[in-house]
Amino acid sequence: MLAEPFSRPLIFVAHPDDETLACGGLLQRVAAAEVVFATDGTPAGFGLERRFGNLKAYTDLRFQEASRAMGHVPSASFQWLTRPDGTYFADMHVFEEIAAVATSLRAIAEKFSPDAIVSHAYEGGHIDHDACSFVAMHVAEALSLKRFEFPMYWLDASGRAVLQVFRDSTPGGAGEVMERQLSEAEIECKRRMMAEYRTQSGTISTFAPGRERFRRATSDRLSFSVAQCRDYLYQSRPPRFYHSRRHRLSAKALLKKFGEFERWRARREDWRRQW
Ligand SMILES: [Zn+2]
């Protein structure tokens, strides 16, 4: 088994289940980890309130699932980002509140004192994943932390989902891919974690638990370009909404939000001081 280049990572993911799918083995290998969920995992517009009574009931379920999944790895703790008023960030809308998201993550990171931040790669698969990638870059930079990233999913030219493979194998000299084959015992534990996410079982069943990939993240603000993420094709079923095949949110719109955050940050003494 290869030793990991960190022993106390902060693992920053967009949704409950991302941490299990991408890092379920890694979580078992490190001495301690703090998993931070960016959103409540409850996207509006999918009819979830009809299926679960109301959206709050669905959110509660997702939180319970995450708590049970994390219960299989006692060395890891977890928490959610919150706005200053204590509310959670909405699924699919991280990009609209980047300053608040980054501020919350930074406060958690300062408290936990990780030796690395591990988060999503910028890959044009899910808009929240990409927004988290951007936020992780800024917080790691502000706190002088090493940063690593993992691939989740993106769609190839024929519209097929590519799972857990980096979309750009050599983006501007990105770090070498660290591929981890999990042991039988690690896979067994990861399967138990995956099984806790009953509301996500359809998506989860498409992921194979045996292998995880990471790399040292070398992206900077220039890496967040249109080329990587022309359009977001996340939601292809009705009701379709703005980041779907029919209503595409262009990468340009996302990058505009990134630019707004950077201008906000440049004005803030408490962010700038760290530069
Ligand atoms: Zn996700």
DSSP 164-185: SS-SSSSTTSPPPPEEEEPPHH
**More confident call, 188 vs 170:** 188
Q: 46-84 pLDDT, tens per residue? A: 788 888 999 999 999 999 999 999 999 999 999 999 999
Written as one letter, the residue type at 39 is: T
Which parts of 85-171 fold into alpha helices (H)? 98-112, 127-142
Domain assignment of residue 141, yes or no = yes
Tell me, in angstroms, the distance from the centre of ligand 1 to residue 34's CA. Answer: 17
Domain range for 152:
9-220+251-272
Distance (Å, whole) CA 24 – CA 47: 30
Distance (Å, whole) CA 130 – CA 177: 19
Domain assignment of residue 138, yes or no = yes
Residue 240 has pLDDT above 60, yes or no: no
Tell me, in angstroms, the distance from the centre of ligand 1 to residue 41's CA. Answer: 8
Tell me, in angstroms, the distance from the centre of ligand 1 to residue 21's CA. Answer: 9
Confidence band for 147, pLDDT divided at 50, 70 and 90: very high
Tell me, in angstroms, the distance from the centre of ligand 1 to residue 17's CA. Answer: 7
Domain assignment of residue 239, yes or no = no
Tell me, in angstroms, the distance from the centre of ligand 1 to residue 128's CA. Answer: 7
Domain assignment of residue 142, yes or no = yes
Average pLDDT, integer, range 97-126: 95
What's the Cα-to-Cα distance from 74 to each of 30, 67, 69, 143, rounded to whole Å? 11, 11, 10, 27
Domain assignment of residue 89, yes or no = yes
Domain assignment of residue 131, yes or no = yes
Tell me, in angstroms, the distance from the centre of ligand 1 to residue 265's CA. Answer: 26
Tell me, in angstroms, the distance from the centre of ligand 1 to residue 30's CA. Answer: 22
List the structure tokens of 106. 């930074």
Model-wide pTM > 0.85: yes
How many domains would you assign to the chain?
A: 1
Whether the Cβ atoms of residue 157 and residue 124 lie closer than 8 Å to each other:
no
Q: Residue 265: give its domain's CATH number.
A: 3.40.50.10320
| pLDDT for res 273 | 55
162 beta partners: 154
Domain assignment of residue 230, yes or no = no
Written as one letter, the residue type at 7 is: S
Does the N-terminal peptide bond of residue 239 adopt cis geometry, omega within 30 degrees of 0? yes
Confidence band for 259, pLDDT divided at 50, 70 and 90: very high
Domain assignment of residue 109, yes or no = yes
| pLDDT for res 229 | 75
Tell me, in angstroms, the distance from the centre of ligand 1 to residue 263's CA. Answer: 27
